[in-house]
Amino acid sequence: WQVYNGDASAPFRETNYRPEIFYQAPVSSTLMGGAWVGRIGLEHESNGRSQYLSRSWNRVFLGIGFQKDRWAIYLQPWYRLPEDKKKDDNNPATPPPPKGDDNPDIEDFLGHYELWAVYNAEGYELTNMVRHNFDTGNGSVEIGISFPLWGRLKGFVQYYNGYGESLIDYDHSIQRIGVGLLLTDLL
């Protein structure tokens, strides 16, 4: 949402889609006395736009997570599936073809993995997400807190700093603060 910006497409700035198919299974381990889980899958992320505004990528991932008591951590490294280069005729009067890689440098900004950490303290849940690219040093960090409002309804405040907050500006570093409502927490 961006209800405050009527000049640039309020109330929505962009909608991103991230369907995935995965297999998840418990990992048999007594290490650290908690529950381990492994996940392998395929993920597509896109903004559903066309031509100049199209952003998308596909990746395979292998993740490992751990949960104990009130906290959890999950690491998901990925491999970007390569796409063919766009066959552009370099004519500014014609839009680029729909087939081909819309953003060949996206991994330079969104990195090679996501690392999530969650801690639940008496109904308040603290979350942290980090992405990083080892070669470019680019990435992002997201920090959030959720709190009880009424019944299962919760409020949240979230801070984001870095690249890839939305696909349309994946290659621009931004800072934002968001507020909203949640129906469920991560833990």
Active-site annotation, residues = 44, 46
Sign of CA dihedral 2, 152, 19, 85: positive
SS3 letters across the chain: CCCCCHHHCCCCCCCCECCEEEEEEEECCCHHHCEEEEEEEEEEEECCCCHHHCCEEEEEEEEEEEEECCEEEEEEEEEECCCCCCCCCCCCCCCCCCCCCCCCCHHHHHCCEEEEEEEEECCEEEEEEEEECCCCCCEEEEEEEEEEEECCEEEEEEEEEECCCCHHHCCCCEEEEEEEEECCCCC
Q: CB–CB of 37/27 below 8 Å?
A: yes
